[in-house]
Structure 1
Amino acid sequence: MSEAQKLLAVLRQSADPQIVDRIERLIDDAADHELNRINVLAFAAKHHLDEERAIAAFLHAARLGLFEMSWNVLCPGCGGVMDAGTSLRSLKRKEYSCALCAAGYEPTLDEMVEVTFTVSPRVREIAAHNPDKLPMTEYLRQVFWSSGIDLPDNLDEQLEDIMIDAVELPPGDRVILSLQLPPQFVIVFDPVTHAAQFIDVKGEPTRERQNLSLVLSELHTENRTLELHPGPLRLSLENHTKRRTLPAVWLANDALHRLMERRRPFLTAKRLLTNQTFRDMFRTDTLDVDQRLKITSLTFLFTDLKGSTELYERVGDLVAYDLVREHFRVLNEIVASEAGAVVKTIGDAVMATFPTPDHAVSAAIRMRHAMRGLNEQRGREDLLLKIGIHEGPCLAVVLNERQDYFGQTVNIASRVQSLAASHSIYATGSVVENPEAQEVIELQGLHPTLQKTLLRGINNEFSIYEIP
């Protein structure tokens, strides 16, 4: 039995067998580039698999060593990978710059950090394990562009409409390219060092040879846009790095823009942080204590049991403990099935996160129904659940040696829960007015009622909805 077969046998014990079968076929039969920086959401869509189960399967596979995880910082403009690391701990910079787009970005975990999976060399050797040997087209496909760019199979042909010329330049080498500049905006770009030089080609055509020298280094120096005339150009390129570079002369034309506009969903860092399987498996390996990573939109759900003290007095400690433990088990299952994760429990309360408001609302409705079911089994109203939901920006941090969240959004969600009466769901306007959340509420035949109220410790008046 091979190493891969042994690991897959173990994987079948913890992941969906159907998905493990698909992963096995992927490892055995897929082309090399399909095993590099795998987009799990695209993989699930292609094979009609449940996304959450597919994510869980790849996480278990990574834990076993079948795949290596990569956390890639993306440029929102071109979809290029500006930085990559094996964990979120590698995201130390306050700003990342994309030379191709000439723009700087403060990293957020919503759409700027993707998580991908690459087959381990111990399982199968692929070309991308040695990226400096990849030809230009495959380097762009497998290393430069993110898994969120839906690149065509005929990328070679499409690049012919974008690139005037390209060259492979070994370390320390120098090359001279003789070109004819068209009257268009041109970019000399190297996807390895991310060095770029913008050239605005305009004015009267010239027959005189123009000269330009560029040095490729690891310094990522910014260059001002040059103005040249249409006509001959003698371009000198020097590689001052210790690795091969792939400089090319790109046309900033419609073909390039159409290529970069081909987007598809991908697994974001935010979604992974709100995944229960990930939190259970990697809770101590996510962030450094001093990191504060921004999330522009995350949905928080708080629950608490009303009258839990009276419950312990009424039924006794042992029975109450079993009841509360069963309530936690049910809530955990519902949260995980709605693409969420339980961040922590505080006494009888639960703090959970969801990537979007609709998942939180669906979870809240299911929680209330489940508690009613447990009460009906006992023939008495022992479990009186109060739920509050709010959505907004926050910081991903480490508190008490575990990944947590900090910010006003968290405080507001907790305050909203404290307003709720037994069996009630309270949610802020940003949750209930979300189109997808509205659809969930309408499908349940529910009609939220609005009230304006002040929350303890919060200055502004809030629109709070009760979901009956």
Structure 2
Amino acid sequence: MNEHGKLLAILRQSADAELVDAIERLIQDAPDHELNRINTLAFAARHGFDEDRVIAAFLHASRLGLFEMSWNVLCPGCGGVLETGMSLKSVNREEYTCALCAAGYEPTLDEMVDVTFTVSPRVRKIAAHDPDTLPLHEYARQVFWGSGVDLPEDFERMIDEIILDTVELPPGERAIMSLQLPAGFVIVFEPVTHAAQFIDAQGEPTRERQSMSLVVNETHPQNQTLIMRPGPLRISIENRTNRRALPAVWVAGDELHHMLKRRRPFLTAKRLLTNQTFRDLYRTDTLDIDQRLKITSLTFLFTDLKGSTQLYERVGDLVAYDLVRSHFQVLHEIVASESGAVVKTIGDAVMATFPTPDHAISAALRMREAMHRLNEERGSEDLLLKIGIHEGPCLAVTLNDRQDYFGQTVNIASRVQGLAMSRSIFATGSVVENPRSSRIIEKQGLHPALQKTTLRGINDEFSVYEIP
């Protein structure tokens, strides 16, 4: 058995056999470009697998060395990869600029950071392991554009229609491109360094040759749009970097815009941070101590046991400890099965996160029912769970040597949990009024009661729903 065969055998101990078989076929049979920056959600959809199970399998496979995980900052406009790194620690700028879109963006973990998996060169060598050998169309497909763009099967043909001319330019070399400039908007774009020059060709065509120059360097400053006339154009290009450049003249017409509008879901950094398998496997290797990364929407669920002090006095430390441990195990299992992750436990309390409110609502209802079953088995009401849920923006940070969250949303979620009595779930309007959450609640035949209240540390009156 070869090395990756042994690793696949180990992977079968922590992932579904059918799923591992699909990963093995991918490694053995897929064309090179399908093994570079694998979109796990697309893989799950293509094979009909559960997304969370696929994510977990690729995380385990990455930990074993079958794949290399990368964190890619994607441009919201064109889907291009603005920067990539081997960990979330590489996302360390306050703003990322896309030269192709001529726009800057503040990075957010739920909109701009994509997590992908590339086969390890120890398992199978693919062309993308040496990207400077890729022709322009494959470099654009595999390196510049991220897994969030649904590029067509005939991508090479489409690129040939969009690009007027291109040249491969070794480090330190110069080249000249001569072409007919059409009317409309044209971009001289270099995808390795992201250097760009915009040209607006307007007015009457000319027979006189026009000229322009472009220097490709590591800073790739944004240049002013040049106004030219349709007709002959001579472009002088110099590569002042230490690697190959691929400058090309792109027609910014309907074909390019239509191609870039084709988007598909991708595994966001936010979703991965709220994945229990990821937190278990990468507990101490996520963020630097001084990183603060923005998440525009995350759902927090806090639980606490009512009367736990009296429980210890009533049944004794050993029995109470076993009960509390059983309750923690059940909560962990429910959180993980609802695409969430337990961030931490504080005494008898749990703080968990979910990518969307509906998963948190579903988890809360299941938690309440699970505690009811545990109490029925014991013939007593020893485990009374108080639950509070809130959704909103926050910061992903490192606190006490582990990945955590900070912000008013976290504070409000904790305060809402403090309102809950036994068996009641308290949730804010953004959670209960979420369409998918509402459907789950209605399906259970429950009728949330709206109440106005004050929360400690919050100035304004707050609207909170009690789910009986």
TM-score tier after normalising by the smaller chain length: over 0.9
Equivalent positions of 1:120-135 (< 5 A) are: 120-135=120-135
How far has the Cα of 1:170 moved from its partner? 1.2
* 2:299 alignment partner AA: T
Deviations along 1:126-159, whole A, 9 cap, x unmatched?
A: 0100000001111111000000111111001112
- Aligned-pair CA distance for 1:160: 2.7
Offset, 1:280: 0.6
Hey, what does 2:438 align to over in structure 1? 438
In the TM superposition, residue 412 of structure 1 has moved relative to its aligned partner by 0.1
Alignment of 1:376-395 (within 5 A): 376-395=376-395
Residue in structure 2 matched with residue 209 of structure 1 by the alignment: 209
Q: Give me the whole-angstrom Cα distance separating, in 2, the residues matched to 1:252 and 1:406.
A: 42
1:111 match:
111
Partner AA of 2:204 in structure 1: E
Match of 1:138 in 2: 138
Aligned counterparts of 1:246 and 1:216: Cα–Cα separation in 2: 10
1:440 deviation in Å? 1.5
Tell me the distance in 2 between the aligned counterparts of 1:188 and 1:111.
28
Q: What is the aligned partner in structure 2 of residue 409 from structure 1?
A: 409
Structure 2 CA distance, aligned partners of 1:444 and 1:172?
A: 68
SS across alignment from 2:54: helix
* Structure 1 segment 24-423 matched on structure 2, within 5 A: 24-423=24-423
User: How far apart, CA to CA, are the structure 2 residues paired with 1:32 and 1:136?
Assistant: 15
For residue 249 of structure 1, give the secondary structure of its aligned residue in structure 2: strand
In the TM superposition, residue 205 of structure 1 has moved relative to its aligned partner by 1.3
Aligned counterparts of 1:436 and 1:146: Cα–Cα separation in 2 = 29
Following superposition, the deviation at residue 94 of structure 1 comes to 0.9
Q: Which range is displaced more, 171-180 or 139-148? A: 171-180
1:81-100 superposed Cα distances (whole Å, 9 cap, x missing partner): 00000001111111110000
TM-superposed CA distance for 1:403, in Å, is 0.4
Deviates more, 1:158-167 or 1:98-107: 158-167
Task: Give the letter aligned to residue 210 of structure 1.
Answer: Q
Corresponding letter in the other structure for 1:464: V
Query: 1:56-94: per-residue Cα shift (whole Å, max 9, x none)?
Result: 110011001000000000100000000000001111111
The one-letter code sitting in structure 1 at the alignment partner of 2:193 is T
Distance 1:49 1:298 in 2: 25
- Corresponding residue SS for 1:367: helix
Matched letter for residue 401 of structure 2: E
Residue aligned with 1:243, SS: coil
* Counterpart in the other structure of 1:11: 11
1:466 aligns with 2:456: no
Q: CA–CA distance in 2 between the matches of 1:65 and 1:366?
A: 36
Superposition deviation, residue 161 in structure 1: 2.8
Letter in 2 for 1:387: I
Counterpart of 2:444, as a letter, is: Q
User: What is the letter of the counterpart of residue 15 of structure 1?
Assistant: A
Helix, strand or coil: the match of 1:161?
Answer: helix
Q: What is the CA distance between 1:325 and its match in structure 2?
A: 0.5
In structure 2, distance between residues paired with 1:92 and 1:131: 24
Distance 1:263 1:202 in 2: 31
**TM-fit CA distance, 1:171:** 1.2
**C-alpha distance in 2 between matches for 1:439 and 1:388:** 19
Q: Summarize deviations over 1:367-389 as a string: whole Å, max 9, x none.
A: 00101111111111111001000
Query: What CA distance in whole angstroms lies between the structure 1 residues aligned with 2:252 and 2:463?
Result: 47
Deviations 1:163-185 (A, max 9, x none): 11112111111111111111101
Displacement, 1:13? 1.2
> How many Å apart are 1:391 and its aligned residue?
0.4
Q: Which amino acid aligns with 2:151?
A: L
* In structure 2, distance between residues paired with 1:364 and 1:446: 13
Q: Residues of 1 paired with 2:440 and 2:225: CA distance?
A: 50
After superposing on structure 2, the runs of 4+ consecutive aligned residues of structure 1 that deviate more than 4 Å are none
Q: Does the residue aligned with 2:334 lie in a helix, a strand or coil?
A: helix
The Cα shift of 1:204 comes to 1.6
Q: Counterpart amino acid of 1:77?
A: G
User: Equivalents in 2 of 1:19, 1:197: separation in Å?
Assistant: 46
Q: Where in structure 1 are there 5+ consecutive unaligned residues?
A: none
What is the CA distance between 1:209 and its match in structure 2? 0.5
Q: Which amino acid aligns with 2:106?
A: E
| Displacement after TM superposition at 1:199 (Å) | 0.7
Percent identity, aligned pairs only? Answer: 77
Q: CA deviation at 1:335?
A: 0.1
